[in-house]
Chain A
Amino acid sequence: MLGDSSLKYRVREDCITGWLLKVPVLIAVGMLVLFFVVLTAKSWPLLTGGNFWQVLTSSEWLPSEGKFGLWPFIIGTIAVTFLTMVLAVPVSVLAAVFLNEFAPKKLKAMALPIIDVLAAVPSVIYGACGVIAFIPMVKALGGALGINTTGRCLLTAALVLAIMVIPVILSIVRDVLAAIPQEAREALLALGATRWEATYHVVLKLALPGIIAAIMLGVSRAFGETMAVMMVAGSIPEPKPSLFKAVYTLPALIADKYGEMLSIKMYDVALMTAALILMVVIAFFNFGAHLILIRLRRKY
């Protein structure tokens, strides 16, 4: 029959392409494995040297003497992330609730694309603005409070990062809210609840896992942020972070010192250990957040 040989060809084509297309899957999975393996391999001496715990908790950072206490950087990263979230979460969550539940249609239609577009602005720009505007502002604020500060400190970093993280959290929370069926709100409104009561009692309860996922994603974004922090946080390791003192984070450390990596023994191991810690913590938050979101999507 006429079609016979072309059929054989098509089936073979389908089979071959099927296998070829599966190669990128291996590449993608391989990437993650590669990252993990490479970083672990490089950090191996520190991980197994017996003083890994010491490295994590010591505050002595004297690379020339072989002392790599990562504690100030770890606590610095945690402090920056924590303060950032404290500032960003109330703003983004409440703004998202307003936009989805209370805002007039026109405002909604205008605000959402703006926020999406702004989420794409690179961090170095935030850093630049931090240098231009925020550092002098915080310096002045410190002065008004009687605190002597260069303006390059924890507070500045958190302010800049908070603004950066707001669009991220806002759009995820908004998506979660939008996915909740209208019947939920109707059920309470028909009983005579105010719009706020309907939102608070039902919508937010249903959206809570999604909100938590959004916060987790915000955390991983803030945790790994390099440039903006580097430009405004001051680069002085500080074991007891405080608002107006300079702070040094893990990403900033890696970015600053990579040039000197090979000049001092074990320096590269220390920096790669820092990178490994970063990667593991962030992967953990990301993984958790996406699990929550996937489960939410399945529900609706």
Chain B
Amino acid sequence: MLAWRRFVEKFWIGLMIVMLSIAIVSVLGIIGIVLWRGFGALSFEMFFSLKFSPVTGEPVGIANSIIGSAYLAGGGVLLACLISIPLALVLQREYLSENIITAVTVILDVLWGIPSIVYGAIGYLILMSCHQRASLLGGIVTLALLSVPIMTRAAMNVISLVPIQLRETSYGLGATRWETISRVIFKQALPGMATAVMLAFGRAIGDTAAVLFTAGYSDKLPKSILEGAASLPITIYYKLMMPGQLAQRQAYAASFVLIFIVLVVSAVSRTLSNRLSKYTVK
């Protein structure tokens, strides 16, 4: 009897190890393949050249995509900050009742789960109704909408980790809500907020569907906010499907850059939150 029970245990453990291996190997494999192909396509020209190929009329490098992505994601995240950070600060017991907080939290979670294609569709409708074409501005606004739930939830989690004694100390000294929140809570939560912003940035820069209709595309560097702008994910998508050596290489290079940025942002925000929280009160 006992032998059977031990055998059952060994069987399941073995199965679980297999599953874990599949999970890790497959995800690492995906990234590895793309990184490997992308690495081969990297070159100085790819990054910095603004020339155009005489043969195809396409740009030789992906500089337009890199800059475009930076503007789009950066602008979108900055815009979202204006809403998310106050929102996270106000969703606390000092300002709102438990019920409202829960309700808004659920709404944010639902918004978070809505696929970016829907954000893109709505962004497009908004653009149309304002008689605008797809542009950098459109992309920024759509990405901002996309980032708000992500950033707010992450910021809320950080704020909830602030020890209650900190609040008690501040209020006990006679501070108002605003003073407590802006001077004590915010400072304590700052590293975590920075992480939340980076998290949103990583998500925004990699998102394709949201900018597909709303940001347009351009072979050149974006000069005005009302012009279309290229972005890394869109470039990958378009160029991968196009025939020709150059296009393929650009797609791989763009993939490499994109993964690289996302992994770096992820890793940095992780170490940053660990490092900075050393100085905050525990």
Q: Do chains A and B touch in the complex (CB under 8 A)?
A: yes
- Which residues of the other chain, A, contact B13 by a CB distance below 8 angstroms? 98, 102, 196
- Measured CA separation A128–B126 after assembly (Å): 30
Residue in B100, B145, B206, B208 whose Cβ sees the most chain A Cβ within 10 Å:
B208
Smallest CB gap from B26: residue in A? A163
Contact A28 B87 (CB under 8 A): yes
A132 within 8 A of B: yes
Contact B148 A14 (CB under 8 A): no
Smallest CB gap from B177: residue in A? A14
Contact B83 A28 (CB under 8 A): yes
Smallest CB gap from B263: residue in A? A117
- Which residues of the other chain, B, contact A286 by a CB distance below 8 angstroms? 109-110, 112-114
Contact A125 B31 (CB under 8 A): yes
The interface on chain B, measured as residues whose beta carbon lies within 8 A of the other chain's beta carbons, has a size of 89
Contact B27 A163 (CB under 8 A): yes
Report the stretch among B48-56, B189-197, B219-227, B254-262 that lies at the interface: B254-262
A126 within 8 A of B: yes
A285 within 8 A of B: yes
B9-45 to A contact mask, C-beta < 8 Å, 1/0? 1001101110110111011101101100100000000
Q: DSSP class of B's interface residues: helix, strand, loop or mixed?
A: helix
- Measured CA separation A272–B122 after assembly (Å): 9
A294 within 8 A of B: yes
- Which residues of the other chain, B, contact A116 by a CB distance below 8 angstroms? 266, 270
B132 within 8 A of A: no
Contact A125 B17 (CB under 8 A): no
- Measured CA separation A162–B241 after assembly (Å): 23
Smallest CB gap from B255: residue in A? A128
B117 within 8 A of A: yes
A27-38 to B contact mask, C-beta < 8 Å, 1/0? 111011011001
B93 within 8 A of A: no
- Which residues of the other chain, B, contact A17 by a CB distance below 8 angstroms? 177-178, 182
Contact A124 B233 (CB under 8 A): yes
Chain A nearest CB from B102 CB (Å) reads 7
Contact A31 B148 (CB under 8 A): yes
Given known pairs A25-B87, A226-B115, the reply for A91 and B9 (CB within 8 Å) is: no
- From 21 to 74 in chain A, residues with beta carbon under 8 angstroms from any chain B beta carbon are 21-25, 27-29, 31-32, 34-35, 38-39, 42
- Measured CA separation A275–B124 after assembly (Å): 12
B6 within 8 A of A: yes
- Which residues of the other chain, B, contact A230 by a CB distance below 8 angstroms? 237
Contact B111 A167 (CB under 8 A): no
Contact A167 B27 (CB under 8 A): yes
A175 within 8 A of B: no
Contact A125 B240 (CB under 8 A): no
Contact B8 A32 (CB under 8 A): no
B163 within 8 A of A: no
Contact B95 A18 (CB under 8 A): yes
B227-268 to A contact mask, C-beta < 8 Å, 1/0? 000000100110011000000000110010011001101110
Given known pairs A18-B178, A94-B20, the reply for A275 and B240 (CB within 8 Å) is: no
A271 within 8 A of B: yes
- From 9 to 25 in chain A, residues with beta carbon under 8 angstroms from any chain B beta carbon are 10-11, 13-14, 17-18, 20-25
Contact A29 B115 (CB under 8 A): no
Report the stretch among A107-115, A138-146, A182-190, A240-248 that lies at the interface: A107-115
A233-270 to B contact mask, C-beta < 8 Å, 1/0? 00000000000000000010011001000000000000
Contact A111 B117 (CB under 8 A): no
Interchain residue pairs A-B with the least CB separation, the first 10: A224-B115, A122-B206, A286-B113, A98-B16, A196-B9, A24-B87, A21-B90, A14-B176, A95-B20, A94-B19
- Contacts A125-B258, A226-B115 aside, 18 further interface pairs with beta carbons under 8 A come to A11-B176, A14-B177, A17-B178, A24-B84, A28-B83, A38-B122, A92-B23, A121-B262, A124-B236, A124-B255, A128-B236, A131-B240, A132-B34, A133-B33, A217-B113, A226-B209, A227-B233, A231-B241
CB pairs A–B below 8 angstroms (18 shown): A18-B177, A24-B84, A28-B107, A32-B107, A34-B122, A94-B20, A98-B16, A118-B31, A120-B262, A124-B208, A124-B233, A127-B236, A129-B31, A132-B37, A167-B23, A194-B6, A197-B9, A226-B208
